[in-house]
């Protein structure tokens, strides 16, 4: 389901001064793989190039080598995309010149953008968190222009109080700096903030190390048995609002 046909999110609800302040005051959410069905759109891109997504595992392996070079600032986003695509086809035995790399990457990205969609539990979760008076931030390792385009296309550009994008703040998850930037922008203490994402290492453990409550969204339920001690695990976003209500804030 996309947000195009959905009702707009309600405006932020101010805390009632007659009630005790909540233990958690702000929630940060990862974007790709958490709110947006990243894998489905990437698979659509592969099908546009190959006619099949059977090489999904190879694409993921190549991405794991190249994407960190972008998030660490070694190369820019467009260069990363071209080099990733060039290596992917080289592994398959096809050497591409730069013109062909650009053409194929454009074809792939067109298919990816057409396939962008939210997970079914994304909007209900955001509405529930907002109805509880919680401040909301999107915290994502991505290129600013690209990610903002995605959020606009899905109607999420106004869903958050703060957008914290690694390309714009100069630091990426799991570096504590990006989580601190989000909390500062929201005006909440780290101990009174939650961050949830689909990566145990980058999201949940990174947030916990930064002083937030880190929550792992394990949609496949494949890693629950080996989860990180002290990190709550959920398998769908509809579980998040109740979990947030159970967490205890720190610092008075």
Domain count of the chain? Answer: 2
By the 10 Å C-beta count (0-12 exposed, 13-18 middle, 19+ buried), 95 is classed as exposed
Angstrom distance (rounded) from CA 128 to CA 125? 5
| Residue 222, pLDDT score | 72
3-state DSSP: the chain helix, strand, coil percent, rounded to 5? 50, 10, 40
- CB of 236 within 8 A of CB of 179? no
Judged against a pLDDT cut of 50, whether residue 12 lies above it is answered with no
Which of 93, 114, 135 terminates a domain? The answer is: 114
129 and 101 together in one domain: no
145 and 231 together in one domain: yes
Q: Which of 183, 178, 177 is nearest to 136 (CA)?
A: 183
67 and 54 together in one domain: yes
- CB of 96 within 8 A of CB of 105? no
159 and 197 together in one domain: yes
Angstrom distance (rounded) from CA 193 to CA 190? 5
Which of 98, 114, 130 terminates a domain? The answer is: 114
Confidence of residue 49 (pLDDT cuts 50, 70, 90): very high
87 and 210 together in one domain: no
pTM for this model (two decimals) = 0.87
144 and 226 together in one domain: yes
| Residue 220, pLDDT score | 87
**Terminal alpha carbon distance of the chain:** 40
| Residue 226, pLDDT score | 58
174 and 64 together in one domain: no
93 and 125 together in one domain: no
Is residue 252 domain-resident?
no
Q: At what angle do helices 56-71 and 77-91 cross, to 10 degrees?
A: 150
Which of 72, 98, 114 terminates a domain? The answer is: 114
Mean pLDDT of all residues in 46-72: 96
18 and 58 together in one domain: no
55 and 19 together in one domain: no
Mean of per-residue pLDDT scores for the chain: 90
Domain that holds residue 29: 3-37+117-246
Please write the tens of the pLDDT for every residue from 122-138: 999 999 999 999 999 99
Judged against a pLDDT cut of 80, whether residue 10 lies above it is answered with no
| Residue 83, pLDDT score | 98
Is residue 215 domain-resident?
yes
Q: Which residue spans within 106-224 are E strands per DSSP?
A: 135-140, 162-165, 193-197, 213-217
162 and 206 together in one domain: yes
Is residue 94 domain-resident?
yes
Please write the tens of the pLDDT for every residue from 183-211: 999 999 999 999 999 999 999 999 999 99
The three-class DSSP label of residue 58 is helix
Is residue 251 domain-resident?
no
How many C-alpha atoms does 166 have within 13 Å on its Cβ side?
A: 22
Is residue 150 domain-resident?
yes
* Residue whose tokens read 């702000």: 26
Is residue 132 domain-resident?
yes
70 and 180 together in one domain: no
Angstrom distance (rounded) from CA 172 to CA 194? 17
User: Residue 63 corresponds to which tokens in the numbers above?
Assistant: 């991405």
Mean pLDDT of all residues in 102-118: 98
């Amino acid at each position: 389901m996309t947000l195009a046909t959905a009702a707009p999110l309600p405006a932020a609800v101010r805390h009632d001064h007659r009630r005790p302040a909540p233990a958690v005051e702000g929630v940060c959410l990862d974007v790709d793989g958490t709110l947006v069905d990243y894998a489905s759109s990437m698979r659509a891109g592969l099908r546009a190039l190959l006619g099949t997504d059977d090489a999904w595992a190879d694409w993921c392996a190549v991405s794991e080598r190249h994407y960190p070079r972008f998030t660490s600032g070694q190369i820019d986003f467009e260069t990363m995309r071209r080099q990733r695509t060039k290596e992917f086809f080289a592994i398959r035995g096809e050497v591409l010149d730069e013109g062909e790399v650009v053409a194929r990457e454009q074809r792939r990205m067109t298919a990816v953008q057409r396939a962008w969609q939210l997970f079914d539990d994304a909007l209900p979760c955001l509405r529930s968190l907002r109805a509880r008076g919680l401040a909301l931030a999107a915290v994502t390792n991505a290129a600013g222009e690209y990610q903002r385009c995605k959020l606009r296309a899905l109607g999420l550009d106004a869903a958050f109080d703060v957008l914290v994008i690694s390309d714009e703040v100069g630091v990426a998850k799991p570096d504590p700096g990006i989580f601190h930037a989000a909390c500062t922008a929201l005006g909440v203490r780290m101990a009174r903030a939650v961050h949830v994402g689909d990566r145990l290492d980058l999201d949940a453990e990174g947030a916990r190390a930064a002083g937030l409550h880190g929550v792992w969204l394990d949609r496949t339920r494949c890693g629950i048995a080996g989860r990180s001690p002290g990190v709550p695990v959920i398998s769908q976003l509809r579980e998040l609002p109740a979990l947030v209500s159970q967490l205890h804030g720190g610092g008075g």
